[in-house]
């Protein structure tokens, strides 16, 4: 995919998404437009139920909008087949979640190897290097149950970085951590993504974390109510 210099790295236009709960219809996104530039660090903030995770999932190719379009590097993501979408996700994107989603029977090294194995890369060396980057080079043979919550999230960050993604989506990455560990994890994620020149999109209910980014998008009642540049 070749990007024009005039195109945003990620662009969304008129996104709508809702859900049916029994006979009740709940509208979550109401025509959202946004652009995210290559290398930007963008925080999606707002109250619970505002639609920030739904928006992130749609931008990340994980959930199709009912209306609207998403372009990644100039290509209409949801005009692709599911197989083509999967290739785009594996090549360009990575994900970090609140609950880590580490495989309990695999060591830290093996968990980090998984995305590299899927893409056919030299998984062992890349995974070891990625764990070294997050300060866990001495914990590679430990199972998730043998690691603290902060260490497990650092393994998840290492896994997200192993394929050198161009965009990282993080959904409440500090949500299960105390304030000290959460601050350390966020600082590490921001530093490593900046080092790699990766775009970072973070969903958080904690607007205090957003001061670390380039922009804070506040989502309320399914629309972006503020597009603030962080000074």
We report the CATH number of the domain holding residue 156 as: 3.40.50.300
Q: Is the pLDDT of residue 68 over 70?
A: yes
* Section 119-138 average pLDDT: 86
- The tens digit of pLDDT for each residue in 78-90 reads 999 999 998 888 8
> Is 119 part of any domain?
yes
pLDDT at position 116: 76
pLDDT band at 6 (very low <50, low <70, confident <90, very high): very low
Locate all alpha helices (DSSP H) within the chain, ordered by sequence. 52-59, 82-92, 108-118, 123-133, 149-161, 179-196
Q: What residues contact residue 2 under an 8 Å CB cut-off, 6+ apart?
A: 73, 74
Q: Is the pLDDT of residue 76 over 80?
A: yes
> Is 1 part of any domain?
no
Q: How many structural domains compose the chain?
A: 1
Q: Taking each helix axis as running N to C, give the angle between helix 179-196 and helix 149-161, from 0 to 180 degrees, rounded to the nearest 10.
A: 10
Closest to 212 (Cα-Cα) out of 176, 178, 173: 173
- The tens digit of pLDDT for each residue in 26-37 reads 899 999 999 999
**Distance from C-alpha of 47 to C-alpha of 76, rounded to nearest angstrom:** 29
> Is 142 part of any domain?
yes
> Is 160 part of any domain?
yes
Domain hosting 223: range is 10-229
Taking the CA atoms of the chain, what radius of gyration do you get in angstroms? 17
Q: Is the pLDDT of residue 156 over 90?
A: yes
More confident residue, 102 or 50: 102
- pTM (2 d.p.): 0.90
Q: Is the pLDDT of residue 142 over 70?
A: yes
> Is 3 part of any domain?
no
> Is 170 part of any domain?
yes
Polymer length in residues for the chain: 231
> Is 5 part of any domain?
no
The whole-chain average pLDDT of the chain stands at: 89
pLDDT at position 227: 54
Dihedral of the alpha carbons of 123, 118, 78, 201, in degrees to the nearest 10 = -30
| Sheet with 67-72, side-by-side order of all strands | 24-36, 10-21, 67-72, 75-76
pLDDT at position 71: 94
Tokens of 204: 């958080």
174 neighbors 209 (Cβ within 8 angstroms): yes
pLDDT at position 226: 60
> Is 186 part of any domain?
yes
* Section 121-146 average pLDDT: 91
* Section 179-204 average pLDDT: 93
198 neighbors 26 (Cβ within 8 angstroms): no
pLDDT at position 120: 63
Instruction: State the CB neighbour count (10 A cutoff) for residue 166.
Output: 20
Closest to 156 (Cα-Cα) out of 117, 185, 120, 198: 185
């Amino acid at each position: 995919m070749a990007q024009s210099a005039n195109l945003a790295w990620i662009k969304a236009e008129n996104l709508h998404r809702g859900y049916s709960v029994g006979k009740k219809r709940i509208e979550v996104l109401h025509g959202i437009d946004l652009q995210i530039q290559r290398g930007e660090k963008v925080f999606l903030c707002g109250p619970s139920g505002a639609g920030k995770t739904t928006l992130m999932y749609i931008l990340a190719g994980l959930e199709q909008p009912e209306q609207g379009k998403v372009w990644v590097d100039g290509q209409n993501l949801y005009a692709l087949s599911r197989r083509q979408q999967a290739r785009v996700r594996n090549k360009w994107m990575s994900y970090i979640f609140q609950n880590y989603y580490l495989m309990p029977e695999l060591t830290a090294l093996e968990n980090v190897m998984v995305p590299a194995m899927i893409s056919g890369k030299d998984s062992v060396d890349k995974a070891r290097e990625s764990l070294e980057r997050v300060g866990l080079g001495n914990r590679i043979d430990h199972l998730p149950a043998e690691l603290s919550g902060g260490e497990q999230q650092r393994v998840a960050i290492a896994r997200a970085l192993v394929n050198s993604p161009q965009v990282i989506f993080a959904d409440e990455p500090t949500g299960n951590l105390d304030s000290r560990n959460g601050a350390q994890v966020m600082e590490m994620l921001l530093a490593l993504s900046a080092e790699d020149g990766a775009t970072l999109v973070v969903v958080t209910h904690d607007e205090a974390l957003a001061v670390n980014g380039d922009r804070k998008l506040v989502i309320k009642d399914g629309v972006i109510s503020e597009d603030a540049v962080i000074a």
